[in-house]
Structure 1
């Protein structure tokens, strides 16, 4: 008998003439029925909501004031209780965030165990004290680790992309997602897909660099790592793509400033990374602060409706950047009232207001004034509720604090942070093979403001850290050498503060040592003395006391190293001792003098909590560096923008010097050498597409095992519109033992050969293309040519 089986019950119900699905026969309210289709649950819940309750789902409030911590107990604060009672709030942001802006410290903030208890307390209050028992979404910053106390701190995004290792970055993203989700978070802000082509801009460190294809590739794998095979897994979170779009090229480098781009440039360069991430399944998109061609991104219906939804099929929700909707009445001056601003954004397709300052206060006025239709409100609410159902929050709103305590920042995660840091380090110069250093060295001077400052190596959007969580460069070097080695440490100077001057002591240390490692660069380390805007960006003025020169709000007019850093480096070099320069920074800085005078240079960007170990791994040869630049290093700010894929046209030298960057995109050295041979191509055209098979051999001709980052660029010989002179189209990080040779094969399609034609259609045009293959963008080792016999329209 199968009397107790699901099949028996279903058959019985059908022949009883019910004709109704089994879930509908259960005496459960539809939206609370876990077996009902999500679409039906959304429809039922929306139909039961009041207008005020709907608006509550469309507003995201700042989360860190929403809990109260008393020892090991965490409860909902009075502010949260009020938000539930009066605003029916549906989402919080930064609840677990800790930094100087939020004024959450190691003492008054939350460790993973308490964080899980806090989110549980908020969910419990929301469910038990709201009419419809809707759980809250908790969104968190997750750019290079979950920005919360006790989590793993990975290299910032510019370092992540320097690995050119998509598999590794997907593994990293999955770890970040797991750590956030175990503490009760549901949404992670990231990946950031802005192209960094304006290096004065303060947020270069948060990007994957200057290139469209590399950014898109990194974005895809971060989305897959965050969201996994489904957001209902209990260890995955919703990815939020930032910042839609072209945020990284503001005029003058002013953060959030206006962007003036042609439609073709927008379609060719700035939209594809977002499209790749949307196609990978991203479920949330954040609008940018800037305007494009006079239209604010937070009220741009072309971007949010035509491109994002109609063309790309995006099926998630759109959220504003913090308070960006208010920019319509503020900096942009395109709306007269906050109600007008709310109407502009909601009608353009922006579903959720981060900060809640506009939707929570003025959206109701816009609706009552006839500016916004209820169908649009229901649509926006439905998009958010759909994801809450898909994540399983109505059935499983709570997390296990003990699991969070045990599994957040575990040994495996820390080891992964070291691996990402190892792979991210770029060897820029190694004259006379000064590196790697011999571990039998008797004495070494470790000098510089970034040699032993843990916060300076972590980047912006980082929570407070206990001292034992971070390994500095000085600590990493100490761990490599025997107790008998004499390690002399002198800070020498600060990043910006010119009153700090121990240059004489640094020179003395160098004179007494066999080699000097000088660790310079920048800092995005926030402090408790800096003032912050409502958006969290720093207020920069002549009264600023912070050593920060990078990070949100810290735009530059020069890329020179600040303070007395160059003076320190020159003084140490003057001793005649061998000098290794290690750069820890958030954006490319002026290293012209160093490139001409210092024999060995390493770029570590902001390498995260294991950065000191990673730098030491490279210095002493325990790791063979293979990082490659994701952004070009200019000679001067006068060259900006300077990126490898510049448009065809007049591109010539200046009166003062070359138009070429100091180091180009894709560049990086190794302790090994690699040789490329035997390029072969095969072109197969069919009715709708073309397949180009490109194969070649790569050999490690050095004496050390190592990685090579193989790069393939496409150059369109003749085109109907002006296009970039060359474009990265494939890459692969390949491990090769000493003397080993491997054959590499890449497949290209019409999309990889395409352009945006005069009718704004994507087309791979008939004619010739050159394929440039090698280890960087500037000096390919192999060049081959292919021809298309006819043109192909690429379906977007």
Structure 2
């Protein structure tokens, strides 16, 4: 049959599309055609049937391609305002049939994507659309991509909202607020074409010298669990096919946050019981909440790398927890089985070890390529094993509706990302996270009418030092520093004098004398010190993205925290201590504000500085948040999610240590400077009338704990009521106290509320000598208070019979 030629007209294009049965609608649904009779293309067919049908049609090379997640930022070309796929992308697809990309929209010094060379939200949507269009129209089977992005405290892309880092999020002790934040992050990422958000980081951290503490929720498994649940629910919403939600990838599985010597990716020293009791519960809780992806960590446990650990990836994750999502390595994690851990002699062996252990996908794609194909051909890996892994990936692509809706709308991305509402939410998270650690003689809040105020320090007016690691480039006008926040807060008649004083690390360029002169002329001084995770273009990076730290750096950046920046001490670096002591010597009232990614040594400050505020890395609205607290427009209620040590010689110093002979040292006591859960308020609170009631029927157990909480001040405020538990006598050694419940409660001046917590068998259980989860009969001590050390109420209750718990 001859076709009339309509060259150059839209009619000809549409006619061709209609005859080929390949029509698509703009920004979304692939049109239903007679191709829908093919099961995997039929949106009404069950997901498992679609997966099975597609697997039958795939070659070995296409299957292996689905298991590879390559670095994505070289896969697009930007020319002016237009964006399309790069030649690199086309070559990769022709050769490797890749199914996923990571960090396509990422911008930072490592990727060399700047505010100029990177993508705006609208351009990002155009880039991901171009990639998906190529997959749908230029590949044999038309399998859409899964695009993963870093999303720990905002989508790590240009133009998105920057929130407080995770350690600050945990300091809110407000899971509902964090779930709201996670929902906003997910939507900003999804409308640009992302499908997976890396986060939350559920590493339990007992080693503050480790560089990545800022990415965690601290030292307590229960608090981490609650924050993790909130993030998963915020990311994934009521369904990943909503168009506004992303798949949550839990990091890092497991025992990654307490490495020997503080070395990032180092050996984890933990026994099986402690692994189950301390490190695994946050992951189990997040998976129970619906998390659909999980990332294996770089470290080894008891001689077995987590990237090839079948006990973790099969026995625990799948058999015990019923996980039905997909697992992925960390970047270069599978090659590390060979190069770092040396338990494989070749890449082929490393690939076989990992996939046979149950690790589905390879982030970086170095191992699950030719090496995996070679392993299959040499009968080290079966097709059934490969099919299982591929099915885990495809199932989520179908569930997310990507075969029918592969595209996003650039116009929606442009108006949805970085809204005023999300900026306001960033401020809410930041203010809720701020911890008032000391407030001697009620120095805070300051009066807005103060006549002369000195603002001093390296972190007072540095936007990147305020934002933390995993942050994209930012226009200066978007970020509110502490100096800017203070200037916006005080009276127009207030004179604000700013002097940097010194850098975070550099000792060659300082103006301490000028800072002292400014302090001498002031009525009060706000000094902003701490650390930095701000990367720069002079830093060199490992293939994993971790920074290369050189002991003999000539040009010294501020960066002393963030991935790859492990510390040997926790002292304030550079001349910061000199600056602080010089300012204090003026005799003026001094408020220390800490902007930092890990607990730093503030022993001298705790003795000599009347007011100390910890803001961690508070995000883009951090300056407004800090100012709100300093001047009393926000009553602080943040609580520490990690203990602050007096010395690295005390480490580990976490509060919930196992019952043991922990005694003082020759030089100092064994207690932390500030304990887990600590935080002050401008209000005062009274706890009273603790009551408990035990109800036990068969295998069911419920302990109801109640008490009265009253705001005894004239200032409305939040209190974080915390309930700790101790098993008084047990068959195995348990913690001296363990957080079991908490609630952030707002009380008006003089207001009183009854707070009720319910404990169940899972809250009281232990792993006995037979490695069975049980609640043993006996007494339990109740401790209720304002921190792990500030216990206001004590009580006991008794469980009279053993209860066997389901795992």
**TM-score, normalization by structure 2:** 0.95
- Structure 1 segments of 4 or more deviating over 2 A? 23-27, 543-546
DSSP 3-state at the match of 1:357: coil
Q: In structure 2, how many angstroms separate the alpha carbons of the residues matched to 1:26 and 1:478?
A: 63
**Residues 27 and 200 (structure 1 numbering): CA distance in 2 closer, same or farther, change over 3 Å?**
closer
Structure 2 counterpart of 1:688: 699
| Residue aligning to 1:486 | 495
Q: Mind listing any 5+ residue stretches in structure 1 that lack a counterpart?
A: 1-22
1:775 to 786, 790, 797: 786
Please give the residue correspondences for 1:561-710 in structure 2 after superposition, counting only pairs within 5 Å. Answer: 561-710=572-721
Residue in structure 2 matched with residue 29 of structure 1 by the alignment: 38
Give the aligned partner of residue 395 of structure 1: 404
Count residues in correspondence.
774
CA–CA separation in structure 2 for the residues paired with 1:653 and 1:449: 35
What's the counterpart of residue 19 of structure 1?
A: none
Task: Tell me the distance in 2 between the aligned counterparts of 1:547 and 1:766.
Answer: 54
Shift of 1:361: 2.9
Q: Does the alignment pair 1:171 with 2:183?
A: no
The corresponding residue for 1:3 is none
Match of 1:352 among 356, 361, 366: 361
Alignment of 1:220-259 (within 5 A): 220-259=229-268
Assess if the C-alpha contact under 8 Å between 1:582 and 1:602 holds in 2: yes
Tell me if structure 1 keeps the 8 A contact 2:36–2:43: no
**2:97 and 2:458 mapped to 1: Cα distance?**
49
Q: Distance in 2 between matches of 1:290 and 1:541?
A: 23
Deviation, structure 1 residue 125:
1.1
The residue that corresponds to 1:425 in the other structure is 434
* 1:482 Cα deviation from its structure 2 partner: 2.2
Supply the distance in 1 between the matched residues of 2:388 and 2:204 (Cα, whole angstroms): 31
Measured after TM superposition, the shift of residue 27 of structure 1 is: 5.8
User: Which segment drifts farther, 118-127 or 48-57?
Assistant: 118-127
Aligned to 2:768: 757
Task: Give CA-to-partner distance per residue, 1:73-115, whole Å, 9 cap, x none.
Answer: 0010011111111100000000000000000000000110110
Whether the 8 Å CA contact 1:85–1:129 is kept in 2: the answer is no
Residue 99 (structure 1) aligned with residue 108 (structure 2): yes
Counterpart-to-counterpart distance in 2, 1:86 and 1:180: 29
**Match of 1:550?**
561
Q: Secondary structure at the match of 1:329?
A: helix
Please list, as runs of the form range in 1=range in 2, the aligned pairs for 1:289-368 lying within 5 A after superposition: 289-368=298-377
Q: 1:345 Cα shift?
A: 0.2
Query: CA–CA distance in 2 between the matches of 1:599 and 1:387?
Result: 54
CA deviation after TM superposition for structure 1 residue 750, in Å = 1.1
| 1:49 has 2:58 as partner | yes
Output the CA distance in 1 between the equivalents of 2:38 and 2:557.
56
For the structure 1 residues 258 and 81, does the alpha-carbon distance in structure 2 shift closer, same or farther, using more than 3 Å as the test?
Answer: same
The answer to whether 1:145 aligns with 2:154 is: yes
Alignment of structure 1 residues 376-395 onto 2, 5 Å: 376-395=385-404
Distance 1:27 1:287 in 2: 37
- Unaligned 5+ residue runs, structure 2? 1-31
- Identify the residue that residue 11 of structure 1 maps to in structure 2: none
CA distances 1:667-712 after superposition (whole Å, capped 9, x unpaired): 0000000100111111000111210001111000011100000100
**Correspondence 1:90 to 2:90:** no
Residues 167-246 of structure 1 mapped to structure 2, 5 A cutoff? 167-246=176-255
Cα offsets for 1:304-328 (capped at 9, x unmatched): 0000000000000000000010111
Q: Which residue of structure 1 aligns with residue 269 of structure 2? A: 260
Report how far residue 26 of structure 1 moved. Answer: 8.9
Task: Tell me which residue corresponds to 1:445.
Answer: 454
Give the match's secondary structure for 2:679: coil
Contact 1:255 1:553 (C-alpha < 8 Å) held by counterparts: yes
Q: Which digits, 9 at most, give the CA deviation of each residue in 1:181-228, with x for residues without a partner?
A: 000000000000001100100000000000010001110110000000
Query: What's the secondary structure of 2:791's corresponding residue?
Result: coil
- Pick from 726, 747, 757 the counterpart of residue 758 of structure 2: 747
SS at match of 1:773: strand
User: What is the distance in 1 between the residues matched to 2:94 and 2:666?
Assistant: 67
Q: How far is the alpha carbon of 1:24 from its aligned partner?
A: 14
SS in 2 for 1:189: strand
Partners of 1:26 and 1:118 lie apart in 2 by 27
Following the alignment from structure 1 to structure 2, what is the Cα–Cα distance between the partners of residues 26 and 144?
42
Q: 1:487 to 1:307 in 2, by over 3 A?
A: same
| Conserved 8 A contact 1:63-1:95 | yes
2:544 corresponds to 1:535? yes
| Cα distance per residue 1:448-483 (max 9 Å; x no partner) | 000000000000000000011100000000000122
Partner residue, 2:742: 731
Contact 1:239 1:284 in 2 (8 A): yes
Contact preservation (8 Å) 1:163, 1:626? yes
Q: Which moved more, 1:652-661 or 1:541-550?
A: 541-550
Indicate which of 122, 126, 129 corresponds to 1:113. Answer: 122
State the superposition RMSD in angstroms: 1.0
Q: Is the 8 A contact 1:57 1:89 kept in 2?
A: yes
Structure 2 counterpart of 1:785: 796
User: Displacement of 1:381 after TM fit?
Assistant: 0.5
Task: Compare 50-59 and 480-489 and name the one that shifted more.
Answer: 480-489
Q: Find the aligned partners of 2:463 and 2:496 in 1 and give their Cα distance.
A: 19
How far apart, CA to CA, are the structure 1 residues paired with 2:34 and 2:66? 29
Tell me the distance in 2 between the aligned counterparts of 1:27 and 1:549. 56
* CA distance, structure 2, for counterparts of residue 697 and residue 773 of structure 1: 11
CA contact (8 A) 1:67 1:74 kept: yes
1:115-173 Cα shifts (integer Å, max 9, x gaps): 01110011111211110001111000000000000000000000000000000000000
